[in-house]
Amino acid sequence: MHVLVTGGAGFIGSHLVERLLDEDHRVTIIDNLDPFYDSSVKCRNLSRVKDHPQFTWLETDIRESDCAENVSGEIDAIVHIAARAGVRPSIEDPLGYYQTNVQGTLHMLEFARRRSIGQFIFASSSSVYGVNPKVPWTESDEGLQPISPYAATKLSCEGLGHVYSRLHGIRFIGLRFFTVYGPRQRPDLAIHKFARKILAGESIPFFGDGSTRRDYTFVRDIVDGLLAAIDYQGAAFEILNLGNNRTVSLMEMVQGLENALGQKALIDNQPEQPGDVPQTWADVAKAERLLNYSPKTPFEQGIAEFAQWIQKRG
């Protein structure tokens, strides 16, 4: 198979690229090394694959409509992962998020239409559920009301995906990821940020009273879901949760990190953050049924792997 992965130099994308190449597929990535975080980190993410004969990297920008024109040969599936990620910065730059996330997705869908690519996997987000008191969240929950520009862009992209599946017969599978963590995690995400501060002996910003809960999903489990979605041959449009189906409080997350790193955290209490939701919790029954998805990594194990990685990296 030839798979086009956008955002292939990022945290989740680079793990997917490695797995696809290990399974003997041809992989082309589009990634412009967006400056949201240090581009040298992204280059390092690709260090194991960059010289692989089945691997090609186009350093182009999905905000340009012709970003994929130079991809040669037949493409069997697009996995569209590139985006401006992160809830809080989207409040400062809603237009920038709109351009990369919504316009960029439209460009990739148009490319799929022009090149008759029948399988389109989209990296959506649990944030589309907004403040939904009914937990765990299921894909059939109605009246989704996102509370950040980032979340609104992801929900818009799911809508665009529906349009392209109906009008152009492109199978669109939107995967709603629930807080993904593991080696190479984005440096702006809490687990990574906290770990660096704990190791440096600095205090960590602790938002609210520590009772907010997240369904943390280990990156290897997310990649399992992505690979299954690439092979999925069912309905033309599906939205699926990829979570761990277990929630961990902020307090428990910090304690888990302390145990894994063998170092105590200094806490700097801060008020709750606008745009943050009190809890996320995935019902993964649909992904289990359609993709045979079954998250295998308990938080304690995943956080230990993450801690090992960050300690080795220094």
Ligand X SMILES: NC(=O)c1ccc[n+]([C@@H]2O[C@H](COP(=O)([O-])OP(=O)(O)OC[C@H]3O[C@@H](n4cnc5c(N)ncnc54)[C@H](O)[C@@H]3O)[C@@H](O)[C@H]2O)c1
Given the rule CB under 6 A, which residues bind ligand X? 7, 9-13, 30-34, 36, 42, 61-63, 81-85, 100, 104, 123, 125, 177, 179-180, 186
CB of 31 to ligand X, least distance (A): 5
Which residue, 35 or 262, has its beta carbon nearer to ligand X? 35
User: Residue 204: what are its φ and ψ, rounded to 5°?
Assistant: -105, 140
Smallest Cα–Cα separation from 67: which of 95, 37, 106? 106
In the complex, minimum distance from the CB of residue 279 to ligand X, in angstroms, rounded to a whole number? 15
98 classed as catalytic? no
Q: What are the residues whose beta carbons fall under 8 Å from the beta carbon of 75, sequence distance 6 or more? A: 2, 3, 4, 28, 115, 117
Question: Judged by CB, which is closer to ligand X: 169, or 298?
Answer: 298
Tokens of 260: 């894994």
- Catalytic residue (one of 97, 129, 150, 181): 150
End-to-end CA, the chain: 37
Least distance in angstroms from the C-beta of 189 to ligand X: 6
Nearest approach in angstroms of CB 10 to ligand X is: 2
Q: Which is nearer to ligand X, 145 or 269 (CB)?
A: 145
d(CA 155, CA 161) in angstroms, rounded, equals 10
Which helix (H) or strand (E) is 297 found in, with range? Answer: none
Q: How many CA atoms lie within 13 A of 43 on its CB side?
A: 5
Which is nearer to ligand X, 4 or 204 (by Cβ)?
4
Nearer to ligand X, 203 or 224 (CB): 224
Q: What DSSP assignment string belongs to 156-193?
A: HHHHHHHHHHHHH--EEEEEEE--EESTT--TTSHHHH
Position of minimal CB gap to ligand X: 10
To the nearest whole angstrom, how small is the minimum distance from the Cβ of residue 237 to ligand X? Answer: 19
Strand-strand pairing, 248-249 and 213-214: antiparallel
Which positions are annotated as active-site residues? 150
